[in-house]
Structure 1
Amino acid sequence: MRFLISILAATFVSTAAFAAHHEEAGQQAGPLTIVIHGGAGALEPGRYTAEEEAAYKAKLTEALNAGYSVMEQGGTAMDAIVAAIVLMEDSPLFNAGKGAVFTSEGKNELDSSIMDGETMNAGAVAGVTRVKNPIKLARAVMENSEHVMFAREGAEEFAEEQGLEFVNPKYFRTERRWQSYKNALERQKQQKDSALPKSFKYGTVGAVALDAHGNLAAGTSTGGMNMKKYGRVGDSPIIGAGTFADNKSCAVSSTGWGEYFIRLTIARDICAQVEYGGASVEDAADDMINNKLQSMGADGGVIVLGPDGSYAMTFNSAGMFRGVKNAEMEEVAIYGE
């Protein structure tokens, strides 16, 4: 009997200590925060009309509010980033989902990834052509399979099993992207070269969030690089390059010249600097974008969020569609303002 009482007492103490620990952790968690991006690249002032800039900022604001509202109502960081990214995937303004660019063959191929900072589970898809919202498919891969990444026909077969929404590939075609595609074809003919100016290379959407439980999440979605060939896959669906999240360090979503983000494993390296080097999210992002990426002759940007609510929206390109919202402020921007 004494032995049983001792076990029960020890169990009670252990449970109480466990609860106290989590209560303390909850008190130390940062404020509800969501940070989003809609792609980085050649976004010099004057490229868009005032009306176009207003449309971009309105959609960024809508995505911010959608994600933040989810967490205000008790939803998780995972729920928040999906809500925000779906809105951007459904908009023709961004190079993801509805607004995706075209491959050299005149098709739209979509990539996406997502990661849970609490469990470090992740899901990703590459080269899908009929799934309306690739971020939802990436989450389904994470939650409903034993794998991390599915590609092309296999990914779409899994999407059918999961009951996700499919669309005719023509759904993704927008006149603006089609004209960009035709212009690129013409430039190639004139230059007799497959190389394209940097302005054709970038465009992605992404979100990172911190919820009331102190959990981080990150997600990224893209139509890839305009005029890409041979089933090219960039950094957006690559865990550690385009997306990474870990409650012990930070959550990251990347946008830029994917080949360099893959080589530098930018998302993971930022979080490693925070976790192992004690760097702030701002300093870690600055080192990777304005030092390492810059030194390789490439550009792009990242959004980064720490478990204390600290954040960075860092880029070395002319601009990055971006926004942040917490209890005290809401901000959207395009250029280096």
Structure 2
Amino acid sequence: MYLDAAMIESKTLAWGGVVAVRGLSHPISVARKIMEEKPRLLASEGAERFARDHGFQMCKPTDLIDYEQRQHFEKQEAVIDRPATVGCVALDANGILVAGTSTGGVANQPPGRVGDSALVGCGLYADGQLGACSTTGDGESIIPVVLAKTAVDLLSGDRHPDEAAQMASEIFKQKVTGEAGCILLDPQGRVGWAHNSQGMAVAYITSAMDKPAVFTRKESELYSQKDLLVSRSN
């Protein structure tokens, strides 16, 4: 199991990332620490050495294989190639935007393979004037489209994050084949997301909400909003 992770903040564009690492329990925490130092991107044994030197929790690489994957492997069955990426975007009380992305890659990936998740502009991006984005999907297709940066740039002109995310998804489909999704947050705290896959699990909460909104497909959110409008009109 090879892991990639990265984080970026909008005020100074400080960022940090690790790629092709094994034996790190929380690679995103290591990426956060690297933000404070240079170089910004550490790979493989160098990243693992950095983590050990800074007291981060280490583990056996086999500990990162979940039960279901292990069962398929032991039965010599094909490993399920399901999404293994977790991304987040956040806005704090000082107006600073942050994006973070962490992944276990794809099933049966070759040793040392690096996807989009830890690459600034591809798997994540943040701009204090526009917004922050994290992506998921087929890294080999996301990278040439520079999907996270593309989505953030589309926030210009006070465009709503939902519209920008959908536009970025359309650009992705026009230029490459594959599946991808993105989550977006702007300096006003507005949320947006889109995907061209069958589903994408998303949860978000704002200061005006008393509990998170949770969805597995964009259509579910649209139906929920429609029902809310109907109930208010009644």
Fold similarity call, TM over 0.5: yes
**Alignment partner, residue 310 of structure 1:** 190
Give deviations 1:275-312, integer Å, cap 9, x for gaps: 4x5533222211111x1222222212111000001111
Alignment of 1:36-185 (within 5 A): 108-143=1-36, 145-181=37-73
Give deviations 1:227-250, integer Å, cap 9, x for gaps: 111411110011110011111111
Candidates 200, 220, 235, aligned match of 2:116: 235
**Alignment partner, residue 79 of structure 1:** none
Q: Percent identity?
A: 33
Mean CA deviation greater in 263-272 or 200-209: 200-209
CA contact (8 A) 2:141 2:177 kept: no
Rounded to whole Å, the distance in 1 between the matches of 2:113 and 2:126 is 24
Rounded to whole Å, the distance in 2 between the matches of 1:180 and 1:243 is 32
Question: Structure 2 counterpart of 1:324, which letter?
Answer: Y
C-alpha deviation, 1:110, in angstroms: 0.7
Question: Structure 1 counterpart of 2:4, which letter?
Answer: D
C-alpha deviation, 1:173, in angstroms: 2.2
Rounded to whole Å, the distance in 2 between the matches of 1:178 and 1:252 is 32
Which has more helix, going by share of residues?
1
Rounded to whole Å, the distance in 2 between the matches of 1:292 and 1:181 is 37
**Alignment partner, residue 263 of structure 1:** 144
Question: Structure 2 counterpart of 1:234, which letter?
Answer: G
Question: Within the alignment, does 1:292 sit opposite 2:171 as a pair?
Answer: yes
Question: Within the alignment, does 1:244 sit opposite 2:125 as a pair?
Answer: yes
C-alpha deviation, 1:186, in angstroms: 4.5
**Alignment partner, residue 208 of structure 2:** 328
**Alignment partner, residue 97 of structure 2:** 216
> Does 1 or 2 have the higher relative contact order (CA < 8 Å, sep 6+)?
1
Q: Taking structure 2 as the reference length, what is the TM-score of the superposition?
A: 0.86
C-alpha deviation, 1:253, in angstroms: 0.7
How many equivalent residue pairs? 216
Question: Structure 1 counterpart of 2:41, which letter?
Answer: M
CA contact (8 A) 2:161 2:193 kept: no
Rounded to whole Å, the distance in 2 between the matches of 1:233 and 1:332 is 29
Question: Structure 2 counterpart of 1:256, which letter?
Answer: G
Q: Taking structure 1 as the reference length, what is the TM-score of the superposition?
A: 0.61
> Any unmatched runs of 5+ in structure 1?
1-107, 188-195
Question: Structure 2 counterpart of 1:269, which letter?
Answer: T
Give deviations 1:177-214, integer Å, cap 9, x for gaps: 2234567x645xxxxxxxx9xx7263200110011111
CA contact (8 A) 1:201 1:256 kept: no
CA contact (8 A) 2:89 2:183 kept: yes
C-alpha deviation, 1:325, in angstroms: 0.5
